[in-house]
Amino acid sequence: MDGGIDDFAAVLDAARQGDDDAAAVLFDAVHPGLLRYLRWHEPRAAEDLAADTWLAVAERLGGFEGDEQAFRGWVFAIARRRLADHRRRSRRRRTTPVAPETLTRIGGGLDPAQVSLEAADAQQAVARLVGVLSRDQAEVVLLRVLAGLGVEEVARLVGKRPGTVRVLQHRALRRLAQAEAARRTPTDGARHRSGRGRRRESPG
Amino acid sequence: MAKFPLDDEVVDRLLAGALAPDDAPPGFGPVAALVRAARGPAAANELAGRAAAVDALVRGGAGATSPVRSGRTSMIGKLLGVKTLAVAVPGLLLTGGVAAAATGSLPGPAQSAASHVLSDVGISVPNGHGGHSGTGTSGSSSSQGSANGHAANATGPDATGPAAYGLCTAFKAGGLNQHSVAYRNLAKAAGGASNIDTYCASVSKPTTTTTQGNGTGDDTSSDVTSTTTAGSGNRDHAPVSTPPTQGPPSSTPPVSAPPVSTPDSGADSSGTGPGGHAPSSTPGEGAH
């Protein structure tokens, strides 16, 4: 997941004309974040949902207009609709009640308290990033971080005002800073490092 | 608890992964590191469907049926418009995908997968590695069970229906094994083997996907080579451990085909997602 796509308009055009390499640029720029986003929300269905999304993108690529931000927003909008559809279907099918304690587990099935401090794996980093956040805060952070979307696009996707999105992201970041600091202090009962007093950053 | 200062610009850079942990405001170094880790390069298991997606993008999605939503499917199978790789035969035949497969023009893993699957019904197409399925060395150790065909796929593709186009394409490309059920069906539909050329001349490419009418629906075999044909295929990849059922890919969900039991399609390693041990709750909704 690098920074943006160079000359997005040209890449889009070439992909539409059948250029495999250009299509790969679009895919490579968006898919890892898309999959990680979906895996957070629905670990077992994520691959299918991502495939559905790309299929829909492929079918409508000819009609798409916009810059890279608009493209990313469009792809994720499709993905979120598929996600919502999937959840509706799953709820209807569920016949056994879900034990209350499972509902408090963090999404992605990963309990942040058990995720290693070094978070080598991107999906683990995602879990640690949003596991301590409220649902609204988490969604904003996920879309900004994994979809590469700006405040305006996120606001459009989640149906909130940009000002609200800014408040959410601020609170989320503060909450995260607190949580990460708590992990590193020896007085934290759940997880602590033997008092070396030295901060170790996760690999960048 | 101290408040950490954050302005919009710093936030934008931090969330974009553009802020190195050492450059972050005090207290935000670890957060910056987590963001970068979350945005790290794609791992191998995150790219399983890449070739199929790229192929779909350049085709404008044409030739793919709507994804079938029942049961688990592999990403590559979904983007090829088939329920699983094992039911790719009817799917490929319907959508003209065998035309692409016959000329070896599918992307790598898809070409290889298509050649494996088509060889089950005696259609030989290039496998993307310079060989053809069905003509490679037989008795590959990765074959699960022998290609002694039990009758699970006895009826073969319906050459009078929409699959005719795909069969004709394979025939013209020289990839239709004359001992196969597929060939026999085509010959029968044409009114004799010598009429195949004439018959195929009248067969046009299906423009919309339609439900294939020949589902026998009774195949419950999990033997990858359960076919009556001679083609044992070149199983140089991990076998697709799913039955070549007749479950037709339909353009309108839901599909009446039997749920496919499978999931671990080695060929494209879609896998079961690393977070797959999550409990059945909807993740994220409980965390407020």
pLDDT in tens, B129-167: 666 654 444 434 444 434 444 444 456 667 777 667 767
| Residue B143 falls inside a structural domain | yes
* CA–CA dist B219, B154 (Å, integer): 10
Quick: pLDDT tens for A127-176: 999 999 999 999 999 999 999 999 999 999 999 999 999 999 999 999 99
| B221 in any annotated domain | no
Test the A interface: residue of B3, B7, B34, B50 with most A CBs within 10 Å: B34
Domain endpoint, select from B175, B201, B227: B201
**3-state DSSP: chain B helix, strand, coil percent, rounded to 5?**
35, 0, 65
CB contact under 8 A, A94 and B280: yes
Chain B residues whose CB is inside 8 A of the A134 CB are 287-288
pLDDT value for B175 = 65
Range of the domain at B145: 63-201
Compare all CA atoms of chain B with the CA of A89 and give the residue at the minimum distance: B69
For residue B60, give how far its alpha carbon lies from the nearest alpha carbon of chain A (Å): 5
pLDDT band for A4, please (50, 70, 90 cuts).
confident
In a domain, B113, yes or no: yes
Class of domain A113-184 (CATH, top level) = mainly alpha
Calculate mean pLDDT across residues A174-183. 94
Q: Does residue A197 sit at the B interface (CB-CB below 8 Å)?
A: no
Give me the pLDDT at residue B269, please.
Answer: 40
CA of B27, closest CA in chain A: separation in Å?
Answer: 6
**What's the gap between Cα A93 and its chain centre?**
26
- If asked whether residues B77 and B25 sit together in one domain, one would say no
Using CA atoms, how far apart are residues B21 and B24, in angstroms rounded to an integer?
A: 5
Q: Are residues B80 and B192 in the same domain?
A: yes
Residue B165 and residue B80 share a domain: yes
d(CA A188, CA B21): 23
B277–A109 C-beta distance less than 8 A = yes
Any domain includes B247: no
More confident residue, B96 or B201: B201
Please, which pLDDT band fits residue B202 given cuts at 50, 70 and 90? confident
Q: Contact A67/A8 with Cβ under 8 angstroms?
A: yes
How big is chain A by its Cα radius of gyration, in Å? 19
Task: Please give the tally of structural domains in chain B.
Answer: 2
Instruction: Check: CB of residue A124 under 8 Å from CB of residue B273.
Output: no
Residue B30 to residue A32, Cβ atoms within 8 A: no
The answer to whether residues B70 and B125 belong to one domain is yes
Q: Are A75 and A33 in contact (CB under 8 A)?
A: no
User: Could you give phi then psi for residue A79, rounded to 5 degrees?
Assistant: -60, -40
Nearest CA distance, A72 vs chain B (angstrom): 14
- State the smallest CA–CA distance between residue A16 and chain B in angstroms: 6
Q: Higher-confidence residue: A91 or A150?
A: A150
CATH topology of domain A8-93: Rna Polymerase Sigma Factor; Chain: A (1.10.1740)
Start-end of CATH 1.10.10.10 domains in chain A: 113-184
Q: Are residues B77 and B196 in the same domain?
A: yes
Q: How far is CA B80 from CA A24, A76, A80, B57, B224, in A?
A: 17, 22, 22, 11, 19
How close is the nearest chain B Cα to the Cα of A183, in Å?
10
What is the value of ipTM here, to two decimals?
0.81
* Residues B83 and B161 placed together within one structural domain of the fold: yes
B42 φ, ψ to 5°? -65, 135
Q: Are residues B19 and B131 in the same domain?
A: no
Q: Are residues B74 and B115 in the same domain?
A: yes
Answer yes or no: do B142 and B197 share one domain.
Answer: yes
pTM: 0.53
Q: Which of B44, B43, B20, B46 shows the shortest CA–CA distance to B32?
A: B20
End residue of a domain, out of B201, B236, B258? B201
Confidence of residue B253 (pLDDT cuts 50, 70, 90): very low
Say if residue B283's pLDDT is above 50.
Answer: no
Per DSSP, the three-state class of B123 is strand
Per-residue pLDDT, A49: 97
Q: Which residues of B touch A166 (CB under 8 A)?
A: 8, 11
Same domain, B173 and B81: yes
Regarding predicted confidence, which is higher, A193 or B178? B178
CA distance B133 to B116: 6
Quickly list DSSP for A155-171.
HHHHT--HHHHHHHHHH
The pLDDT of residue B106 is 62
| Identity of the highest mean pLDDT range in A84-93, B3-12, B24-33, B133-142 | B24-33
3-state secondary structure of B270: coil
Whether B23 and B114 share a structural domain: no
Chain B residues near residue A180 by CB distance under 8 angstroms: 30-31, 34
Q: Would B5 be classed as within a structural domain?
A: no
Query: In the listed set B201, B222, B248, which residue is the last one of a domain according to the structure?
Result: B201
Assign residue B94 a region (left: φ > 0; alpha: ψ between -120 and 50; beta: otherwise).
Answer: alpha
> What are the C-alpha distances in Å from B21 to residues A33, A72, A138, A176, B42?
21, 26, 21, 14, 21
Residues 82-101 of A with CB under 8 A from B: 87, 89-91, 94, 96, 98-99
Among A4-13, B8-17, B60-69, B244-253, whose mean pLDDT is lowest? Answer: B244-253
Q: What's residue A40's pLDDT? A: 95
The answer to whether position B89 is within a domain reads yes
Q: How confident is the model at residue A95 (pLDDT cuts 50, 70, 90)?
A: low
Please name the residue ranges forming H helices in A99-161.
Answer: 100-103, 122-130, 135-146, 151-158
Same domain, B68 and B197: yes
Residues 102-141 of chain A whose Cβ lies under 8 A from any Cβ of chain B: 102-110, 119-131, 133-135, 138, 141
Where is pLDDT greater, at A102 or B121? B121
